[in-house]
Structures are given as C-alpha cells and as structure tokens.
Amino acid sequence: MTEFFMKIGVIGTGYVGSVTGACFAEMGNTVVCVDKDQKKVEQFSSGKVPLHEKGLDELVARNLKNGTLAFTTNLEDTLKKCDILFIAVGTPPNEDGSADLSHVLGVATSIGQMMDHELIIVDKSTVPVGTAEKVAKNISLELEKRGIEIPFHVVSNPEFLAQGTAVKDFMEPSRIVVGANDAKVIDTMRELYEPFMRREGRFFAMDAKTAEIVKYASNCFLAAKISVNNELANVCAKVGADFDHVRKAMGADPRIGEPFMYAGPGFGGSCFPKDVKALIKTAKDFGYDAEMLGQTLKTNEKQKFVLSQMIVDKLGEDLQGKIFAVWGLAFKAGTDDMRESSSITIINELIKRGAKIQAHDPESMEMAKREEYFGKNPNITYFENKYEALRGADAMLIITEWKEFRTPDFEMIMKFLKTPCIFDGRLMYEPKKMKELGFEYNSIGR
C-alpha cells in the first residue's frame, strides 16, 4: 500500500497527545497540537518539553525545526487546516470510578461549533463504551444549531503507550486498534498508520464500541496479572520460598508468558487504577458485578502496605529517631509521574510512626514536592545523589525499579548506612550475594 501524508490536528498535549503529534510528524505528516494552556504551548513551541518521556524532546525539537510540527491555542484555525483530528484530552476518574468525559465532550461541542469541512475525528483518549456515539451526538447538535450539514466520522483509536517507553511504543506498536463503521474511514486510518506497521497483522479493525473496550480490557488484565503475582510473592515470603525463581519457572509456560511476571509494592500511575475502576463502573451500569476486577484493586491497595509492614515487623511500631533512605519515588521507572505511587503510602506509613526520610529519585523529586503528594513535609529530605541519601540512615528502601539501582556500589552503600539493612520492594538483588556482602537483606517475595 502506498504511504501518504495528511494534515493532522491533536487536541491535548499530555503524554498521549504530545507523543501522538510528534510521532506522526516524524513520519512527514503536518501536525498541529492544540492546548488551552498557553504556558505549555509556549514551552513545546520553544522545544522545552514540560514532561518526562524518553526520546520525546528530540522528536519535538527535530520536527519543530522541519516545520512538520506546531503548537497552538487556536482550535478554530487548526480545524480549518486538518483532515484528521485526534482528541487526546484527560479522562480523570469521578468519585464513583467512572471516567470524567467532560473534557472529551467539551472538545466535541467545540468541533461542532467550528468545523467547516469534512473531518475524521478520532478518540485517542481512554474512554468508556459508548463515547464515540456521545461525541458524534454533541457534534451533530452543534451543527444542527448552526443550520448546516457537514459530513464527519468518529473513530475509536485507543492508545497503548506505557509511560517511559511511549515514543517507542508508538513508533513500534504491538497493535493498532481502529473502531469505525465506514470502510473508507478504516482504509484512511490504515494508510495513516502504514509507516508504523513494518510487521504484518498489527492492524485490527472493528466497530467503535469494541475498540473502546479493548484498552480497558488490556489494562485490567495486566493489572490483574500484577496483583496475582504480588499475592503469590506474599505466599512465597510466608512459606520461605523465593518468588524470583517461581516467576521465572511460571513464565516459561507460553500460556503465562514472561512479561509482567514481577512482584512489587503495588501498581500506580494514571492508567491501571483509573481504567480498572472505570470498567468496574461500566459493568455495574449494565447490571454486572465484575468481582475479580474489584478484588484486583483491593489486592493492590493491600500490597502498598507490605513493605512498610515488613519494616514494622523487623524494627517495631515505634520508629521515632529512625532514618530511612528511600531509592525511588515515581510509580515506575522511566517517568516522573507520582500519581498513586506506592511510595506515597510507604513513606507516609513510616513518617506517622516517627521516622525521617532521605529520598532520591532520578526524575520525580520535584514532582514529589507538589502539594498533592508530599508538599513541604519537614520529615522528608531530598538528595540529588543516591549515595548521599544513605548517610546516617538506619535502613535503605528500594521502591522504584530504576536501572541505575540494579548494580550499585555496595561498598558505598555499606559505608554510608548506619546499619547495613536493606528492604527491597522490587527483588533487585540476590539474597545469597547480599548476605555474603554483610547486609541484612529483606525482600518482597522471599
């Protein structure tokens, strides 16, 4: 199939919108990204990407220079210039767990008020079943108010981007899911994505409702897999088995597979917790109780207390005067995102028992200081150097699996810690080796 290039608009410049726009521009398409936040637009336009995502800075800078990528606050002007418009705004959870569609539907209303030619409108945001219909309805209502008829097509095209590897995930997709009822529109989307599909069988066409549920189903399955692994790791710890060996043997079974076969302090971030809650709510709205998904969330919340409880079991409830060095604050490596990070629960549990924290994270320390996370908590001191965070600490905690934590200088760790005690929430090190080095090593799943 012949590759061709189109004029694309992307509404929203968060992780999904900025990566989507930059990657399409990288393939030669003309892309304009729209955001109502003037400051963000100015930052992107100057090549200063206001979020941490590997490889995104280079993509944005290169395509700004090439003239294939631009950022603006002017939605009406963008609508006049584009053939395909991606909606990539946030869908935060409501109190009942449902996805807040106010931003998505607000954009749809604006499109109906401003569009002047045929458009393909693509839902890139993670949205519940039936959103494409709601978007189409809002656009139609606005066109009706204007007394005009302009053809348009609403497509569901969920993203499968993991924070920290989002650029790679977009450029080398495991699958591309497109939900639409018009065969010509599906063909257009297939051609748009053709440059990214160097492997056959990556493009999946279906109806919009089915496409909308694929993203939720995928994230719920992965979240459940993590919770099952954490439960198994906790059982291993109780009976004296080593989950690291268990997971490797389990993963050799092709029906189970190696990916996501890890134990940890619980999942966080902007996707898994939100998407599991949203699918539970959707199921409830249709009269079904998704019990296993509910248990996935309960297991995950319980897991966030495992590491702090391990410390209490070892050192006692009263941690007054104790100092803990914490390596890792972000919910996962490769990002500065602190949303629902297990580090928040773990650190707060230690502080409420009287402990002081000396923290280091390669990317998320400034984010951690925001009011919604730790704010100006006087019990937490941040260190740019991971070894300096160890000075005088009674024990060291590993919460996030950053690569630079995998092979540290153990002599430096031994030198700076007051007592050679490590609590490992990521199964980073071999227990036998740690014992030989003289550490008291405590790990999840062992």
Residues marked active site are found at 271
Token representation of residue 310: 């391990």
Instruction: Sort strands 323-327 and 356-360 into parallel, antiparallel or unpaired.
Output: parallel
What backbone phi and psi angles, to 5 degrees, belong to 177? -110, 125
Phi, psi of 368 (to 5 degrees): -65, -30
DSSP sequence for 208-224: HHHHHHHHHHHHHHHHH
Give the residues across from 323 on adjacent strands: 356
Which amino acid, one-letter code, is at 118? Answer: E
Strand order in the sheet with 421-424: 380-382, 356-360, 323-327, 395-398, 421-424, 440-443
What's the rounded Cα separation, in Å, for the pair 17 and 10? 6
Length, in residues, of the chain: 446
d(CA 19, CA 34) in angstroms, rounded, equals: 13
Residue showing tokens 């602190």: 338
DSSP 250: H
CA-based max dimension of the chain? 79
Alpha helices in 327-371 (DSSP H): 342-351, 365-368
* Order of strands, sheet of 7-11, starting from the edge strand that comes earlier in the sequence: 69-72, 30-34, 7-11, 84-87, 119-123, 152-156, 176-179, 203-206
392 within 8 A of 418, measured Cβ to Cβ: yes
Question: Quick one: 84 exposed, middle or buried, by C-beta within 10 A (0-12, 13-18, 19+)?
Answer: buried
Please return the burial class of 406, using the count of CB atoms within 10 Å of its CB with bins 0-12, 13-18 and 19+.
exposed
SS3 245: helix
Contact call for residues 430 and 410 (beta carbons, < 8 A): no
> What stretch of H or E contains 396?
strand 395-398
Residues 211, 208: Cα–Cα separation, whole Å: 5
Torsion of CA 278, 276, 111, 27, to 10 degrees: -170
